[in-house]
Chain A
Amino acid sequence: MVDGILVWRRLVGAQIRSQLQYRMSFALDMTGTFWISFIDFFVVLTIFHNVPRLGSWTVHEVAFLYALSAITFAVTDLLIGHLDQFPQKIRDGNFDIVLVRPRGTLLQIVASDFATRRVARVLQGVIVLVYALSGLHIHWTPAREAVLLASLPSAAVIFSSIWVVGACIAFWTTDGGEFTNAFTYGGTTMAQYPFDIYSAWLRRFLGYFVPLAFVCYFPALYVLGKPDLLGVPHFFDFLSPAVALVAACIAGSIWRFAVRHYRSAGG
């Protein structure tokens, strides 16, 4: 495990050094990503310019939820977002090289790229969080702090699991990046808004099937001390780490199963 992390660090270091070979392109990427992600939050502000509340949520509460989702998603995206490029590796047969090396396949794939420019998105999330906290008066208790701290890594694990499962599809379809993006990029957009504004079937789908509700919504409810309008048991607020663990196990098993169906490419 420790050794695996060290190898990951070396491989990612190599990727960053590679990207720095093209400095101009690197700088432009970084700036571009930063502004695009800001425009995204302007949409939220525009909505609240026209309506005072969204369901029972004020602008700062939504900003808080938005920031939690944005930060965890941006961190996940930074670490494993390049999995959406993975179908290319399947299609051109370059996954062969991963398989002849004495390391876990997922570790090698995750470490095979690093989207440094996405640091800009993490930064955007942090700025929105500061904005949210400036307008909220959260009554901090140790329990609330613990839930918030536990929910961030849990959310990252849940997002990662969805990404990994999506990447597995490529073993059969030799493509499928866009299908996964619907759940990852699409999912984060959903998770940025309070779930009680969605219709019942969508809430159920995102709560139980693709467990995005656990990413930020339930932990945010608890931290903000808001009542849940969906009528789910109170303990759901604390369930994120357990859901993350289950999601990771399922994703890991599907990945192992999928690797055995790799067909390679070429003569």
Chain B
Amino acid sequence: MIEVEQLSKQFVVRRGRFRREQHAVEAVKEISFRVERGELLGYLGPNGAGKSTTIKMLTGILVPTSGRVTVAGLEPSRKRIELARRIGAMFGQRIQLWWDLPLLDSFQLLRHIYRVPPERYRRNLDRFMEVLELDSFIHTPVRQLSLGQRIRGELVAAMLHGPELLFLDEPTIGLDVVAKQRVRDFLVEINRDDGVTVMLTTHDLGDIERLCNRLLVIDHGSLIWDGGIPELKERYGGERVLVVDLEASAPPLAVEGATVQRVDGPRQWLRFRGSASELTARVAAAARIVDLQVQEPDIEEIVRRIYSEPGSRA
């Protein structure tokens, strides 16, 4: 669905007030990846890492400096119009809808811009309205919608013409928990039931954990991770934590293969690698356990580790 080879984008920045020096900033440096049809892909990276620049090259907004991009078999910047009909795009911080008009008017305008046949428009709109519960505000001017309502409207706007591929740039930014969940449910549904390939950038690791089966991480313009989330945890967050509640307060346990990270009364946190059951057996031999729990490293911790790992900075 997407093929990217050695893709780079440079921006020329001018410095100085009078004698202007030009120098090139490489926003994206020779990245390569492939996305298959039906994937739900997360694209992660700190601010200014090159996420949006990549998405803009994939959607035909920016022309690459070098390298090759093919999206749905087309070269985005040359076949922009043809591609636009087959992809959907939503930018969490840009407004696509007509600000002063009722939400429904925006959908009708988009129907004509995208030349969606009337019966397909009807079918798609009915379905999305039901899934995203737009009924109560479809006749309200966009400027009066809450952020959550507007984002739901934006999602429908991006999906009305039935794209094969959906690009989302920070779709859940600024949303409350309930609204986030609605957006996520919608994305899962269109990915599962309609086979829409979804690529999303986000700072919200909850989005990544609940939605994505694959993760790309970019930092300083270079791709530093491409793979599944379990593998990522394996690679960067191999250590897990065993939390044990002992019968009584005790000094830090000395057991092989684990280090005590924290003690709080009878509760101790042991960091370890490898098998949890073997460690449990060793702890049980040393003290009486009332309760226990294994904590997986959370993705936030892992990402923090990736960003700060010196090797990741190319």
Taking beta carbons and an 8 Å cutoff, which residues of A are in contact with B?
A: 3, 6-7, 10-11, 14, 17-18, 21, 93-94, 96-97, 99-104, 260-264, 266-267
Contact = CB atoms under 8 A, between A and B. Distances in A.
Given A262-B62, A266-B93, A10 B112 contact: yes
Interface stretch (B83-91, B236-244, B254-262, B296-304): B83-91
B60 interface: yes
A100 B63 contact: no
B47 A264 contact: no
B114 A99 contact: no
Given A100-B61, A260-B63, 20 more contacts: A3-B115, A6-B112, A10-B112, A14-B98, A17-B100, A18-B98, A96-B56, A96-B94, A97-B94, A99-B59, A99-B61, A100-B60, A101-B84, A102-B84, A102-B114, A260-B77, A261-B63, A263-B11, A264-B52, A264-B62
11 contacts: A10-B109, A14-B98, A14-B105, A17-B101, A18-B100, A21-B141, A100-B87, A102-B82, A102-B85, A102-B115, A264-B61
Interface string B92-128: 0110101111000100010011110000000000000
Contact of A100 (B48, B77, B84, B99): B84
Contacts of B63: 260-261
Contacts of B84: 99-102
A110 to B, nearest CB: 14
Nearest to B86: A102
B62 A267 contact: no
B26 to A, nearest CB: 14
Contacts of B141: 21
B51 interface: yes
Contact of B91 (A10, A14, A96, A261): A96
Contact of B99 (A18, A96, A261): A18
A179 B44 CA distance: 41
